[in-house]
Amino acid sequence: MSLLSRASALALVPFLLVGCAQTQPQPDAAAASSAMPAPSALPGIDLLTRSEWGAQAPVFAMTPHTPDALTIHHTATPQRPERSPAETLRALQRFSISSDTLDDGRPKKPWADVPYHYYITPDGTIVEARDVRYEGDTNTNYDLTGQVQVVVEGNFMEEEPTEAQLASLVRLAGALSERYGIPPSRVGGHRDRAVGQTSCPGDALEAHFPEVLAAMQGG
């Protein structure tokens, strides 16, 4: 919604992705990479692309799906506006594809890639993370099929999203709705999908969901 061990939390990535890992066997990474065409552009959205932030290819094959819903997350760690979006995503990917330990002591197995499809930084930059045509990953128990996973950087049980983040989330939700035909009824926070398992995306962000829904309705 921290997945990090105490050592890696200091040295690697300041992200709490609680509830955010289904894992799979690790087939050949080259085959996975060759099966990953670039996602289609979103109308009216200026993305920092995977190539621009220096993404590695997924380390093993992922499950294809057809986007038809939107799930909104927070990182559940304090915002780090001093870090560049590219630095943030490279660190998140390094953590995502590694083995680690969750804060509650559970082991975290490697994911194929960043678990989210889009990441919104404190300055409102919208970053292309995992290819949207493949299911994301989660540490909670809910059906990932069709879910477009969008994460907003911050702990919104303790701080407020920035105006730039909210504006970008509204624009992104509207574009995803237009591109994939996602209706407002198929939008929710992580805790709506994984009831009782997480507080993600936080009260302060969820309070702005009416604006997101209005954007998807053309309002």
Q: Are the CB atoms for 106 and 2 separated by under 8 Å?
A: no
The Cα 8–Cα 13 span in angstroms is 7
Tokens of 18: 């609680």
User: Hey, where are the domains in the chain?
Assistant: 6-23+43-216
Cα–Cα distances in angstroms (integers) from residue 176 to residues 6, 67, 70, 179, in the given order = 36, 9, 8, 5
Assigned CATH topology for domain 6-23+43-216: Lysozyme-like (3.40.80)
H/E segment holding residue 108: strand 107-108
Q: Tens digit of pLDDT for each residue in 14-67?
A: 344 434 434 344 444 444 444 444 565 788 899 999 999 999 999 999 999 999
The Cα 180–Cα 106 span in angstroms is 36
Q: Tens digit of pLDDT for each residue in 190-206?
A: 999 998 999 999 999 99
Q: Tens digit of pLDDT for each residue in 76-97?
A: 999 999 999 999 999 999 999 9
Share of the chain above pLDDT 90, in %: 68
Query: What was the pLDDT predicted at 26?
Result: 42
Query: What was the pLDDT predicted at 192?
Result: 93
Tokens of 19: 């509830």
